[in-house]
Structure 1
């Protein structure tokens, strides 16, 4: 419960990981996009800004992930599940054997353990989410094959 409260406070203070400066609102970036994620596990341009690392107090990590249009993860699983908090844009989430679903700002996606899935931006929009990923021992993700262009095209219909 203590971890959940910390996460909710952390997320509640964020309007977006990379809010741009707006002349009328006078806002600035909360978090820069971070480092580009490897093409070994992502298609397109995706960036990670780590927020919370696994340590003696936390059996999870949290990071802000920015997907440019058409960027997406490979298919993958999490041995102890994952939660995505969409904070900007429009994206897609798909579990193996099920149709893709559109996800948007304000959506919370609770991904059960060991469910093969992928997520990312739509073909025309960027998407930003906070990913909270649990660990089982020292493993938090098992990367699988890339999402094909055909699979991605069908998800964008």
Structure 2
């Protein structure tokens, strides 16, 4: 377990992420930082937590990593390890997932890129086999 980051970072961890819990394996927390104009949320993942494969239709998403160690993966590509200071630009229509490493809390600020008609499509969970193959 990481001794340096335990989920409390520069932004509030927020309450349990009950609104999206059905699309996560494990426990996450969500603190909305902005809901005016641009939706910005601080998402904190307990060790081993990850969201399901999903697609942002139109707009896309930007992740700003603020704590811990995690993963980002696009369908058909190898997973990318994420650490504080990393930025991930997710193009619209890109199937992907993101979440914590097995042994570390993880936090990122998620920015929804504004677009008319934007929506999210939640897909299947990341399999334990896929996830367990990561370091």
Which band: TM-score by shorter chain?
Answer: 0.7 to 0.9
CA RMSD of aligned residues (A): 1.7
TM-score, length of structure 2 as denominator length: 0.86
Tell me which of 28, 32, 40 is aligned to 1:62.
40
Moved over 2 A (4+): 32-39, 134-140
Q: Which has the higher helix share?
A: 1
- Residue 94 of structure 1 corresponds to 73
Tell me which of 12, 18, 33 is aligned to 2:8.
18
Deviation at 1:132, TM superposition (A): 0.1
Query: Partners of 1:42 and 1:124 in 2: how far apart?
Result: 17
Q: Which has the higher strand share?
A: 2
Aligned residues: 127
Structure number with the bigger relative contact order (C-alpha 8 A, sep ≥ 6) is 2
Matched-pair contact (CA < 8 Å) for 2:16–2:27:
no
TM-score, length of structure 1 as denominator length: 0.74
Work out whether 1:48 is the aligned partner of 2:66.
Answer: no
Query: Are residues 97 and 61 of structure 1, via their aligned partners in 2, closer, same or farther at CA, if it must alter by over 3 Å?
Result: same
Query: Partners of 1:89 and 1:18 in 2: how far apart?
Result: 10
Indicate the SS of the match to 2:69. Answer: strand
Matched-pair contact (CA < 8 Å) for 1:133–1:140:
no
Tell me which of 34, 55, 66 is aligned to 2:15.
34
